[in-house]
Structure 1
Amino acid sequence: MIRGHNGLMRADRLLSILLILQTQGRATGRELARRLEVSERTVHRDMEALSAAGVPVYAERGPAGGWRLLEEYRTQLTGLNEDEVLALFALKPPQLLADLGLGRAAENALLKLLAALPASRRREAEHARQRLLIDGSRRDEPVPWLPLLQAAVWEDRRVRLHYPSGGGPPGERVVDALGLVVRGQAWYLVARREGVLRTYRVSRVAHAELLPERFTRPPGFDLERYWRQARSEFQAKLPVYPVLARLEQHAFERFGLVGRWARLEHAEPDGEGWLRARVRFEVEEDAVAWALSLGDRVEVLEPPELRRRVVRELVKALRRVKKSRPRGGSAGSEAT
């Protein structure tokens, strides 16, 4: 949302700086500039303004330096702008919070926060709540061990997991529970085992036991950075089945309905409302299912073996239809 008054924008930014320093203790000028989407020069001017207003901010030099607040200083400013109200009251994923056992606690917290807001902000919160809902339901994956894993993550505790490896039965392993990630319809545990970071799908955990010993988190570990890197590496290892095809524009608009690991790499007009597209699938079966689902609105150009496979499947389907057609029948049954 664009705000027309520079003073209001700067006030929001100064409050954000205070809350960042108060919660994490230290932040470099570069980090603050990145998070606030301003220049480092602007951050320096903001620090001068805070200092002039009596806020005890100071800079430390050296590799571990940055901007800090005096430890005893705490701001009581808790004003929320319209965008922040929207984020809190409209974008709460109810099923994910329920998975963590925090559904009721989240509702109570939001009720308390709502009661503390000025009347104008309460109206904005209700406005957002009635117009936007993110439903993170994922009932197809039971996660009975999630609360125990959450406790391990919160307390830096070790966990004994019984987890399948490959196609075999669950095996036992002791891991350091570092973090939990939810993506799409699945929860994942990020853990360290024998010094190596690994990812476990929570729904596949057959049994989990919280162990008494605690562990020391890896220095510099960042959950979001690790997850992005691990996801990129996983996707890079996936098998690739490239396809070149011609398809109608309307069929192209339905492309999002295709399999999980399909990717559109390139598409350009090919005349008369058709497109020439390069599509990447994970396996041949996904490409066959996609082509068959579009019928005469797609023409597979490459690879040749996929063209032949699609033709064979269509011929078999036609034979089944002819074989199942009832013989004879009354004249009236053929009337149109």
Structure 2
Amino acid sequence: MRADRLLSILMLLQVHRRLTARDLAERLEVSERTIHRDMEALSSAGVPVVAERGQGGGWSLLGSYQTTLTGLNLAEIQALFLPKPTHLLADLGWSQAFEAALLKLLATLPDANRQQAEAVSQRIHLDPTGWHRWEEEMAAFPILQTAIWQEHQVQLTYKRSDGKVVERLVNPLGLVAKGSVWYLVASVEEEVRSYRISRVQSATITDRPCIRPSEFNLAEYWQRSLVEFNANLPRYGVMLRVAPDVLPRLRYGGHFARIEQIGSPDAEGCILISIRFDVQEEACAYVLGFGAQVEVLEPSQLRDRVLQAAKEVIALYTRY
């Protein structure tokens, strides 16, 4: 609705100070012509919106103009009161602050909206963790969090995934939670990297100011790094013929098995599955776990590997 959009424009200009018509159009998913009409409507209503032309220009609010209207509709209120990942808030030390903020917001709502907001937590629960959660060492977390807020460089002692321990002087740029695992995003000599915080053996805040890359965006960096990580994963493709009652177990059978394509049942009801692993060893162990209900069709090297492993198992249990 237009009223919601006008309030959204006011909030965006208060937060970002100056935005172009294109920026506003992209954020609100409308045309630039619509934004210009909205600006005329705001101006007619007495809101001091001004436009500056040229490079670095855009729309802004005149002087120190502020509005105290939140313009929250029911859906937005319900979204705010959805249960949040409490363990991540606890890691950040924000649990109490978050609860206090929600209580203050709740107190300002009309009775009808307050009842709707309170009902959300009893209707929807979000659990971002998997079935198996391993508690990780987080001793360095408070130090890294402090360094980020203070914008100071940090001297790290870090254990890499290959077991080698290295020393790094880093510019801490942000913290990212992937599921329940925390990462430090930091730059080293203008190269941005990710460090798993559980592998940080020690961290010391220095008196050197943090050097932050210009126009660095934490969310965009993390998204790019995920794409690059997935693109560089090892690929070991396998074609399987599986019994139909095995398919549900295949879907949830292992974190290293990724189903790429599911075919139609053949004359005997079996299904052809294209599935990807990182390495052959993982594929062999995975297939053996399903016994005679899964047959390897390709590659032939894996068929031979599974057959050899099966013979070794038989020999082990028939030697007495």
What TM-score do the two structures reach when normalised by structure 2?
0.90
Q: Deviation at 1:97?
A: 0.3
Q: Deviation at 1:143?
A: 1.4
Partner residue of 2:91? 99
Does residue 306 of structure 2 align to residue 310 of structure 1? Answer: yes
Does residue 287 of structure 2 align to residue 291 of structure 1? Answer: yes
Does residue 270 of structure 2 align to residue 278 of structure 1? Answer: no
Q: Distance in 1 between matches of 2:77 and 2:243?
A: 44
Q: Equivalent of 1:254, from 249, 253, 256?
A: 249
Q: Distance in 2 between matches of 1:136 and 1:277?
A: 29
The alignment of Structure 1 onto Structure 2 pairs a total of residues equal to 316
Contact 1:93 1:135 in 2 (8 A): yes
Does residue 47 of structure 2 align to residue 51 of structure 1? Answer: no
- Pairing of 1:110-129 with structure 2 (within 5 A): 110-129=102-121
- Pairing of 1:76-225 with structure 2 (within 5 A): 76-136=68-128, 138=133, 140-165=135-160, 167-225=162-220
Q: Deviation at 1:82?
A: 2.3
Q: Deviation at 1:105?
A: 1.4
Q: Distance in 1 between matches of 2:145 and 2:63?
A: 30
More divergent stretch after superposition (9-18 vs 248-257): 248-257
* Distance change (3 Å), C-alpha of 1:25 and 1:319: same
Q: Distance in 2 between matches of 1:92 and 1:159?
A: 30
- Pairing of 1:313-332 with structure 2 (within 5 A): 313-322=309-318
Q: Equivalent of 1:36, from 3, 28, 33?
A: 28
Q: Deviation at 1:164?
A: 1.7
Q: What letter corresponds to residue 234 of structure 2 in structure 1?
A: P
Q: Distance in 2 between matches of 1:161 and 1:71?
A: 44
Q: Deviation at 1:80?
A: 2.1
Q: Deviation at 1:199?
A: 0.9
What SS does the aligned partner of 1:97 have?
helix
More divergent stretch after superposition (25-34 vs 99-108): 25-34
Q: Deviation at 1:151?
A: 1.7
Partner residue of 1:331? none
More divergent stretch after superposition (89-98 vs 286-295): 286-295
Residue by residue, what CA displacement relative to the aligned partner does 1:154-199 show, whole Å, maximum 9, x if unpaired? Answer: 2222111110245345322111110111112311111011121111
Q: Distance in 1 between matches of 2:312 and 2:236?
A: 24
What SS does the aligned partner of 1:32 have?
helix
What SS does the aligned partner of 1:189 have?
strand
What SS does the aligned partner of 1:125 have?
helix
Q: What letter corresponds to residue 58 of structure 2 in structure 1?
A: G
Residue by residue, what CA displacement relative to the aligned partner does 1:190-243 show, whole Å, maximum 9, x if unpaired? Answer: 101112111101111001111222224211111111111112112222211111
* Distance change (3 Å), C-alpha of 1:304 and 1:23: same
Q: Which runs of 5+ in 1 are unaligned?
A: 1-8, 325-336
Partner residue of 1:6? none
Q: Distance in 2 between matches of 1:64 and 1:135?
A: 43
Q: Deviation at 1:118?
A: 1.4
Q: Deviation at 1:261?
A: 4.0
More divergent stretch after superposition (59-68 vs 156-165): 59-68
Contact 2:243 2:293 in 1 (8 A): yes
Q: Distance in 1 between matches of 2:125 and 2:160?
A: 38
Q: Distance in 1 between matches of 2:256 and 2:39?
A: 48
Partner residue of 1:68? 60
Contact 1:95 1:135 in 2 (8 A): no
Percent of residue pairs identical? 48
* Distance change (3 Å), C-alpha of 1:202 and 1:45: same
Root-mean-square deviation (Å): 2.1
Q: Which runs of 5+ in 2 are unaligned?
A: none
Q: Distance in 2 between matches of 1:101 and 1:299?
A: 51
Q: What letter corresponds to residue 85 of structure 2 in structure 1?
A: P
Residue by residue, what CA displacement relative to the aligned partner does 1:132-169 show, whole Å, maximum 9, x if unpaired? Answer: 12234555212121122112222222111110245345
Partner residue of 1:24? 16
